[in-house]
Structure formats: C-alpha cells, structure tokens
Chain A
Amino acid sequence: MSFNDKVVVITGAGRGLGYSMARRFGQEGAHVVVAEINPALGQQAAESLRSEGLPATYEPLDVRDPAQSIALVEKLAQGHGHVDVWVNNAGVASIAPAELISLQDWDDSIAVMLSGAFYCSQAVGRQMLAQGFGVIVNIASVSGIQYIEGRVAYSVPKAALIMLTQGLGIEWAKRGVRVVGVAPGVVMTEMVQKSLDEGSGSLDAYQRRTPMRRLGTVEEVAEAVLFLSSEQASYIVGEVMRVDGGWAAYQMF
C-alpha cells in the first residue's frame, strides 16, 4: 500500500467527494484526518472509516479561520511528526444570478474555497517546507475553466484556486513540496444535487452535455487525487488535472 504511515488531511471530508477521498487514502494505508466544520458529519465519517478498519480521526476545522488550520497543523505535527498530504476540498455551493446573489454568499464562497484553501496551504506549507516533503491537492472544478450561468460565486474562487495551485506549485517545488489540483466535471455531489433540487440544472442536461454521457463518480475523482498525491506523480507540479468525462474539451452545441 503506497500510503502506509502517511498522514493525509482532507478538508470537508465529512461527506461526498471528501469522504470518498478519505476512504481511498485509508485503503492505501494512510492515517486519514477528516477535517470538517460540521462535528456530527465529521465524527460520523471518521467512525464509518474506522468501522471498515481504516485508521481515521476527526478534527474540527473551519477553513475560514486561519488560526484553526495553524492549530491543526501544529497538533498533527506534534502527534505524528509529519503531514504528508493535504487536500483542500472544503466547498460551498451558492447558485444565483450574478445581479442578485447576496454579498454574504459571495464573501463566504471566496472565504471557504479561495482564502480558506490559501490559509490551509500556508499553514501546512510551512510544516511541509520545514520537513522537506509534502503534497497539497486543491479540488478545483471545470466551473473554474468554463462558466455556467448562476455560478459566479462558485466559478470565480475555483478559477483563482487554479492559479493558486500553479503559484504555490512553482514557489515550493524546489523545496520538496508539490502543489497540484484536480478539476472534476459533473460528479454527483452536493453542488450538483443542489442545482438539481433548485432546478438550475437537470440530470438529463448534464448527461447530454458530457461527452462520456454520464456523470463522474466520487471514486473516479478520488483515484485522480490519489495518483497526483503519490510518488508516481513526482514531476507533476502546478498542474490541475481535469476529471470531467470530456466536459471541458467539448466546445460545440
């Protein structure tokens, strides 16, 4: 197992994509830290992983508060001696026309998916630079590459997260810290479910728009994250890999 004894932190791992990544890393022998803002979800996720025999712990984390990520990194460094992989996965999904979206939703989206990812990266980046190794994986989105109406608060921080990935990747590469990302297409997650519930997207429309004619699974995204985090990806730096069934490549009707 390629992640034996590695400490892997995943933000927003209480459910959905984050949970499936936690599970996948756990299967590869990692000690998984479920960093989650919702204590009930986080505890439940960690318990469910442990019930499968996967070593997992829950740690409360609101990525919007830099003091919390600093404290978490310190705690993990003291407890384990190292942090090997950190996945910035926490996200919020606000869908509304740009002229109507509340500034609170906008601010919160930026705070979680952009500033939060940076705060976490800086906190864990300091630790990784000090230890001389580590991988940070940012979960971006094809929405950070191509725009869909109503996604202003989602697309803009995701687009910025792609440049953050490139920037930190370039800045820290020589010192052993790789920063990479994944841009999932339409995967059955909270964001997609919400758009279905609110009627701003339909399952049929998503499938028709995707060259592979199906949605992605959370496991397929988790597999990409696992690959990019591994030693096999040692020369991949500042790259955001699309896992989108051909979504972003498709430019026609």
Chain B
Amino acid sequence: MVNLLLKDRVALITGAGRGIGFGIAEMFGRQGAQVVIGELVEERGLEAAEKLNAQGYRASTYPLDVTQTQSCAQVVNQVLEAYGRIDILVNNAGLFILHKSEEIPEDIWRLQVDVMLNGAFFMTQAVAREAMIPQRRGAVVNIASIGGMGGWPMRSAYNAAKAGLIVLTEVLATEWAQYNIRLNCVSPSVTRTDMMDSMIKKGMVTLEKYSNRTPLGRVAEVSEIAEAVLFLASDRASYITGENLRVDGGWVPYGNLQALGFPEEE
C-alpha cells in the first residue's frame, strides 16, 4: 500500500537548491508533489531540479530573491501560470553571518533580517493573497531555528530574525485559519548541511561541540528535518497550526551543566 502524502500538491520551497531546502524538495518529490524550487542562484536551482527529475520526481525552478517583493510576486505568478495553484509554501531561504553585535555592519544585519524575516513575510503574503486565500486551502511551513528561541552570542541578527519568524507564524496562523490555511514552524538545531560543512571546513566550527551539547549526542541529518516539514505540510497535521516544532535532539530544554563557558570569539 503506497500512500503518497503529497500526491499532486504544488509545493514551493525557497532556497531549495541545497542543504535543508533541497532535502525538503527531495522528500516532497518522493511523496508525489510537484516541487517548485525558488533559488537565488539560478544555476543551483537548475542543478537541483535536474537532480530531482533524474530521480523520477517532478521539479521545476525559478530564480527568486526573497528580499525583492517584485521577485516574490513574479515567482508566485509564474507558479500559478504553470500549475494553477500553490498548496504548500516552505520558507526556507536563509543565511547566517557570525558577527560581534557591537560591530555588526548595518548591511549585514539588514540582509539577514531581510532574507529570513521580511523575505518570508512577503513571500507568504504573495502566496496567500494570490493562491491560498482564493483556494481556501494551504499549508505553510517556516524553517525557523532553535536560535530563534534564545541567546547565542554573536548571532543577534540571525536569532532575532528567526524569533520574529516564529511569532509571525503564530500571528498569521491565527489570522488565516479562517481561510483554512495552516502555518507552522520547524526549528532545527545544528544540521549537517552544506552550510554547516563549509563552516567546518573553514575551521569556524567543530561538530563535536554541538554533538556534546545535544542530549541525543549528535547533530541532525537533513532528512530528519525534512520529515518534520513533510508531516506539518501534509494532511496528517490537519489540526496543527501556529506551532513551532523543535527538531533539536533535546537542545532547547537542556540545562547543560557541562557548559564550556561564554566564548569571546568563535
């Protein structure tokens, strides 16, 4: 008995060219969705879509800069023209720049808030207005972070944007429940993504520190985040809205008496 959870659903995923976003796209494809990859780097989007199509899934891609409301509107129109509807939106596009808060340049602050908070909002607004509200149906999953739930030194813009995204999700969930639109967050902890691997390579971080801090004793795999997104995007979660699902191996509620102390620099 093969029961595809997202059979023929049109799912738009931002920043899905790699990392968690690609993992979500892959899982959605496997579950029968028409996957649409929104990607800032056009080449990356094309490669990702090709990879999915080669696996027998249905995927297409459009260049998307979520910091430009015109770009958001354009992609939404293109998707609607191509497929007639948008059932699922995953706001996944993100970036992370470590910086001392007292010295963080304005543009670096603004970029992070622009992509992960403003971008997620304008993308969601466009999809809701043009597709989900008229359809009277839709599911949005926002990729937040456990960073959005607390204090991590040198991550002021990232964490503030993610915290904003978590509350934004609650607001829109309560506002648009009347249109049968569900909105939820998934908050991953450190995940083995391309971004993570490149940070490890540059010597910016080691996985060991993160594994040791995690009650489960290891970092997350991309597929584990994607499974949670799939669940919330599917009809299995029909009564879940305004929720922020932690997929963090127990990170946030852990008191951690083996703390390393407060790093001045990382």
Contacts and interface: CB of A to CB of B under 8 A. Distances in A.
Contacts, number: 115
A246 B215 contact: no
Interface residues of B, number: 34
A21 to B, nearest CB: 14
B240 A242 contact: yes
Contacts of B245: 236, 239, 241
Contacts of B221: 235
Interface stretch (B105-113, B129-137, B151-159, B223-231): B223-231
Interface string A229-242: 00011111111011
A3 to B, nearest CB: 14
Contact of B240 (A174, A224, A232, A236): A224
A161 to B, nearest CB: 13
A131 interface: no
A220 to B, nearest CB: 4
A121 to B, nearest CB: 16
Given A233-B227, A235-B248, A249 B215 contact: no
A170 B216 CA distance: 7
A246 B239 CA distance: 8
Nearest to A210: B177
A250 B239 contact: no
B138 to A, nearest CB: 13
A233 B250 CA distance: 12
Interface residues of A, number: 37
Contacts of B178: 211, 213
Nearest to A174: B217
B237 A173 contact: no
Contacts of B116: none
A174 B227 CA distance: 21
Interface in A153-212: 163, 166, 169-171, 173-174, 185, 211-212
Given A166-B250, A174-B217, A243 B174 contact: no
Interface of B: 1, 169-170, 173-174, 177-178, 215-217, 220-221, 224-225, 227-228, 230-231, 236-243, 245-250, 253-254
What are the 8 A-B residue pairs with the smallest beta carbon separation, nearest first?
A249-B242, A211-B177, A237-B250, A249-B170, A166-B253, A235-B224, A220-B239, A232-B227
19 contacts: A166-B253, A169-B253, A170-B250, A173-B217, A173-B250, A211-B174, A212-B177, A212-B239, A224-B236, A236-B228, A237-B249, A238-B253, A239-B245, A239-B248, A242-B242, A243-B243, A245-B177, A246-B241, A248-B242
